Amino acid sequence: TIVNRVLPADAEVEQSTAGQSNQATRVVDLGRNVSLRVSRRVSVSNNAAVIKSKESIQALNIRLNALLEAVRAHAKELQENVQKVPTEASQRVQTLSTSLLVEIDSLSLYLKEHSPKLPVYVQVRLEPLMGFVNDRYVTVKGEMVKPDVSALQKARNILQLTTEETLPILQSAAQEVKESLLQYQVSIQENVHKGITKVQAVNSSVSDAASRAVETARVTLVGAK
């Protein structure tokens, strides 16, 4: 330009201006990289947590429903056998009684191992069931397995415990877990939305900073000419 021919830019000014321009470019590139990495990290973190919690709740839901069906079936058959002649039903009664206790024992072990890994609000919903298997059931079971109690009386005691306490609390727990799973799916959608909002906020901040850097470099370039 005429200005450049008449008043050539000082070499140091040109280098400084070019450096500022390059710096602005680096800011833009850095901003894009930060935005991309934040997006990926939020996505990976959310997906891992979501999948793990959802799988835990689904596994518990399946376990409770399967146990509920097994206990119902055993209780029904035990009821039928208790009403038969003692000598005819004795062996089957003992088998069914043992099966019912084994089912509850397995649930107790499962809950002790897996419930701490569940979301807190699911653990809260399971507190009545946890209280039952850890306290009430242990006490009653101790009474039922005493050697001085006949097999038929044990069966009646187990049947009473099953129909009056075990089944109702299992049904309630299964319903609570089912509702928790539905609520968790809603929570997942909300968390994903929050994650996207955070990423968008980071993108916006980075873009604003990059724009300011570019504008500063542009003004500097114009002023240096």
Using alpha carbons, list the distances in angstroms from residue 213 to 31, 38, 158, 209. Answer: 11, 21, 77, 6
Residue 25: closest CA among 203, 220, 211, 199? 211
**pLDDT, mean over the chain:** 72
> According to the model, what pLDDT value does residue 1 have?
46
Instruction: Return the residue matching tokens 């929050």.
Output: 194
> According to the model, what pLDDT value does residue 102 have?
87
Q: Which stretches of the chain drop beneath a pLDDT of 70?
A: 1-51, 85-89, 187-225
Query: CB–CB of 188/54 below 8 Å?
Result: yes
Structure token pair of residue 177: 């877990």
Cα 161 to chain centroid, rounded:
33
Residue 110 to residue 125: CA distance in whole angstroms: 16
Residue 95 to residue 160: CA distance in whole angstroms: 16
Using alpha carbons, list the distances in angstroms from residue 71 to 79, 104, 130. Answer: 12, 9, 17
Residue 162 to residue 31: CA distance in whole angstroms: 63
Query: CB–CB of 35/206 below 8 Å?
Result: yes
> According to the model, what pLDDT value does residue 6 have?
39
pTM: 0.58
**Structure confidence by residue, pLDDT tens digits, 6-32:** 334 444 444 544 454 555 555 555 555
